[in-house]
Amino acid sequence: MAVQVPSLSASGWVGNISEKLDKLISYFFLSDFSQSHLYQGQISSLPNLIKECADNRSLLRSETKRVVMNFITPYFDTIQVDVSISAVDETNPDNINLRVDATVTQDATIYSVGKEIQVINSKVVAIFDANNG
């Protein structure tokens, strides 16, 4: 039996592959690194990675990939994660588009999702679905 993901929505525990991956990716994008005293230092948080790697895009890309892989691995049979970063404005290194593409397998079912995150002045301002690119 596949591992389910808890949610605070009416869905409760989510086991469907597409919903599960969407919830996990959303949790990573929106979580606050310091939201828990009990699990302090163990929260996977994109905003924290952006803060910690603000002036090193290569490190931000590799750390985002590492953290996403570590975060979603327990929930699926296989995973593949790709992360890319592009400049929104070459004159301002704090303005980037960060793209996360994840492909997972659960019980012989394959599912892929792509999300593009727009970061302006080191803050996440928009998240877009990016499945056709």
The pLDDT tens digits for 68-117 are 999 999 999 999 999 999 988 778 877 899 999 999 999 999 999 999 99
Q: Which residue is it, tokens 């499945």?
A: 131
pTM (predicted TM-score): 0.85
- pLDDT top residue among 13 and 33: 13
Domains recognised in the chain with CATH numbers: 15-129 (3.10.450)
Using a 10 angstrom Cβ sphere, with 0-12 exposed, 13-18 middle and 19 or more buried, the burial of residue 108 is exposed
